[in-house]
Amino acid sequence: MAFLSRLVTRASLSLLLLAPALPARAQQGGAVAVTGGVSYEYLETWDVDRLNAVLTTQIPDFAKITVAYTPARNGARLYRVTYPSVIPERGNRPTVTTGLLAVPDLPGTSFPMVSYQHGTVYGKQEVPSFIAQSPETALMVAQFAGQGYIVVGADYFGLGLSTEPEGYMVKASQQQATADLLAASRSVLEAMKLSSPKLFLAGWSQGGFVTMALLEKLEADGIAVNAAATASAPVDVYVALSGFLDFPRPLDATWVMSLFILSAFSYENYYGLPGLARALIADEYYEVTRKAYAREEFNVADIPTDITKLIRPAYFDPQYFANSAYGRIALATNAYRWVIKTPVRNYYGETDEVISTGLGQLAQTYQRAMGAGNMQVEAISTGKTTHRGTFATAVPQWKAWFDGK
């Protein structure tokens, strides 16, 4: 998901339109209203051949790695869910946002559900409910919905059809968007006379963080989760950012600049801190980075790939960074510092160009540091895999583990 390359080239996948057996109004097109301001619209059905093409052709090209996936056994009906939510950082201001609901094209009324939280994206519609532009979501639908799971995926605030600015790594908003999609999806499923007694969580990269944050909220709210799994999860934003500033690795990706850009402007907008992004980003790059965050037209070559050029020199002093407005928010943005009750597996790659091995193992290290140790969290290596390779390798392992729960 390299920042500079994907700003230039967007994924473009041709989709097959089939005629599924659907509720009449959804099949005819247009939104179908259910309770509480929630609505859904039928998008299309991916048949078994389309799903298996994702596994055998699309993902090997996306991740540059060959992984053995279990072939799809059934097709999947795809819907966009539109639902109300609130923005916690803005005094619970009401908003409306979107997400994907994928239902196995199978007889039956009860299926397990997996909530997938997507990674960093650079196009506003490279998100679950625009699945043609989201290879990671396509993989989840192919591997899970193609084998009898319901799959849901929030677009997050500011993406998909949301009119908000993006809330990148804005924890409470991401918790709200994902938890509210779960509730909205259950309303839609009830209208379809379907149920999902088992709930699993999964996410990659930024979505790994969001998965852990969502788990924290669901556990606090008393909502049972059967298991949660992540790949390349930056469970502590400060640790991730400080690593790039203070202890860079030779393999660090050149596109990690995007993490600073998206988070700085998001924190400024959501926490109401005018000037935060300008304080972090060097003057000569402020306007082009603002355009990148806002999804306005800009010249990609104008964004440096050298972090020492993009970020003001003061932030390379750890004390200054930690005490800055930006650093204080980063310090508070973590998703592993509670007593986790749900079985969790955090997968990490040993040559991941974004997430260090230590960060990949951090949740396990923290949980097991408590007295005799909380053994509910396990860090699992996918070997010498890249950022995308870690995800591609972890997904079938998630599936095998969830199947046993």
Q: In what order do the strands lie in the sheet with 227-231?
A: 32-33, 39-46, 76-87, 93-104, 150-154, 113-117, 199-204, 227-231, 344-348, 377-381
Q: Do residue 74 and residue 197 come from a single domain?
A: yes
Of the three residues 280, 310, 332, the one that is the final residue of a domain is 332
Q: How far is CA 303 from the centre of its chain?
A: 24
Of the three residues 332, 354, 370, the one that is the final residue of a domain is 332
Predicted structure pTM score: 0.93
Q: Is residue 4 part of a domain?
A: no
| Top-confidence residue, 5 or 279 | 279
- Rounded CA separation 112/230 (Å): 18
The parent domain of residue 117 ranges over: 10-235+341-403
Q: Do residue 280 and residue 358 come from a single domain?
A: no
Tokens of 201: 């969580």
pLDDT tens-digit map of 318-372: 999 999 999 999 999 999 999 999 999 999 999 999 999 999 999 999 999 999 9
Q: CATH code at 140? A: 3.40.50.1820
- Rounded CA separation 365/239 (Å): 14
Q: Do residue 66 and residue 130 come from a single domain?
A: yes
pLDDT tens-digit map of 279-306: 999 999 999 999 999 999 999 899 999 9
Q: Do residue 215 and residue 267 come from a single domain?
A: no
If one counts the domains in the chain, the total is 2
131-136 long-range contacts (CB < 8 A, ≥24 apart) are 131/43, 131/78, 131/100, 132/11, 132/12, 132/13, 132/15, 133/10, 133/11, 133/12, 133/13, 134/11, 135/11, 135/13, 135/54, 135/58, 135/59, 135/62, 136/62, 136/204, 136/207, 136/391
Residue 29 has what pLDDT? 65
